[in-house]
Every structure is written in C-alpha cells, then in structure tokens.
C-alpha cells in the first residue's frame, strides 16, 4: 500500500490578534472548556465535476471531523459549503504551495468579508505534485490570512479526505506530527496525527490530548 506523505508550510509568520468570537464560547470556565470552530468547506471545479461529487463533498466534512475533535473538547461546526460549479475562484494548480497561497489570499479578500468564519479548507480534485495530499500553515487558527488549508481528494472513500482535512485542522491549531519518540501509541491504527498514512483504521492520538490542551490555553487560541 503506498505511503502518502504530508508536506506542510511551517514558515508563515504569526499573525495579529484573533477575532474575539473565535474559539471563545465556553460551556464552563474550567479546564473542560469547550472550544468552537466555525468551518467553511470549499470544493473546487475539478472536485465538483467528478461523478456524484456533490454528494461526496457534502459527506466529507459531516462524516468524521466533529468526532475526531470531540475527544479534545473542540466542536467543529460546518457553517458553510462553497461549491465552484462553474469556474475556480482562485488559481488551482498541481503545485500545492502555490495553490495554498492562492486559496488563503482568496479567503482573506473575498470569502471572509462575505461569510464570517474561523477556518476554511479547500477540497480539490486536482492531483498535487509528488506525494503531497494536504498542506496548512502551523498555529494559524482564526487568523485572517492563514487560517485554512488545502486537501487533495485522494480516495474514492470520503473518509480519506475527511481524515486529511482533520489533519490539516490540527496543524492550524498548532499540532505537530506524532512519532513513536513523541509518545505515539497508535500501533496498528490509522493515526491522523502521523505524517504518513499506512493503516486503515482511524484514531485521534491520545498523546495529542495534553499537547492540544496546552495549545488551547495559549493566547493565539483563546
């Protein structure tokens, strides 16, 4: 079974102050505080042109993403689905770096003023160069110019893109890849925090729990 390696942008500069509403609605003022992320999913023209693609795209974010982050007390709410049925609204190429920059620029200038949200992810039917199937800036959640990512729809099973999207969201939150050296305990499982996908089953790595909790207490994620 081929390995799919995630390549990510990690050189973005950290941004300005975050919108107050982002990740700020709390159930309780304790360590069990629930964070909320308003997500918009965008499907490019190539993706929506695929057979039964509309049903496919809609099912991706609804499938498993909320469940992936529920264990970390994060609620991911799908607040919008944008479908580019006629033409792409930003340049989409096989170069994932260029595509990421173009998508983030379009989100900042066009999408964010029209539809307030915390994060946007592009699901593309274009096959990226090399083994890259997803890319996202690190520690960028809720920023105006970097809170988003790109996902290549690399599988006939919607779960494949859903896992990749959840993985990119993790990078936006500031989570890094997990390795056995960092305490990864997902032996024999399909770990969404790993940089290589090898197995079929999916778990959200327990080792990320404490790490994510520390991240969520930082000012950039409040």
117 annotated to bind ligand: no
* Residue 171 labeled ligand binder: yes
* DSSP string for 110-155: IIHHHS--SEEEEEE-SPPSTT--EE--SS-TT-TTT-EEEEE---
18-26 long-range contacts, CB within 8 A, separation 24+: 18/141, 18/142, 18/143, 18/220, 18/221, 18/222, 19/118, 19/142, 22/118, 22/141, 22/142, 23/118, 23/141, 23/142, 23/216, 23/221, 23/222, 24/222
Classified as helix, coil or strand, 208 is helix
Tell me the C-alpha to C-alpha distance, in Å, between residue 191 and each of 8, 74, 97.
Answer: 17, 18, 24
Angle at 173 between CA 130 and CA 179, to 5 degrees: 60
Looking at the annotation, which residues are catalytic? 168
Strands 148-152 and 134-135: antiparallel
Residues 174 and 147 sit within 8 Å (Cβ to Cβ): no
Across the chain, which distance is largest between two alpha carbons, in Å? 47
**8 labelled as ligand-binding?**
no
Q: Which residues are annotated as a binding site?
A: 167, 171, 177
Q: Which residues are annotated as a binding site for Zn(2+)?
A: 167, 171, 177
């Amino acid at each position: 079974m081929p390995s799919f390696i995630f390549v990510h942008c990690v050189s973005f500069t950290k941004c300005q102050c975050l919108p107050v509403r982002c990740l700020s609605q709390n159930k309780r003022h304790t360590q069990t505080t629930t964070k909320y992320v308003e997500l918009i999913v965008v499907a490019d023209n190539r993706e929506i042109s695929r057979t039964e693609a509309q049903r496919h795209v809609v099912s991706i974010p609804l499938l498993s993403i909320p469940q992936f982050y529920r264990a970390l007390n994060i609620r991911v709410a799908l607040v919008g689905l944008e479908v580019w049925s006629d033409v792409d609204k930003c340049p989409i190429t096989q170069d994932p770096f260029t595509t990421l920059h173009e998508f983030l620029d379009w989100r900042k200038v066009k999408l964010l003023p029209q539809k307030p949200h915390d994060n946007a992810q592009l699901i593309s039917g274009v096959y990226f160069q090399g083994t890259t199937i997803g890319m996202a800036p690190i520690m960028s959640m809720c920023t105006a110019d970097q809170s988003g990512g790109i996902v290549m729809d690399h599988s006939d099973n919607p779960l494949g893109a859903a896992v990749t999207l959840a993985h990119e969201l993790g990078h936006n939150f500031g989570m890094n890849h997990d390795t056995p050296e960092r305490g990864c305990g997902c032996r024999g499982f399909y770990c969404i925090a790993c940089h290589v996908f090898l197995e079929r089953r999916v778990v959200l790595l327990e080792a990320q729990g404490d790490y994510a909790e520390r991240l969520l207490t930082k000012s950039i994620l409040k």
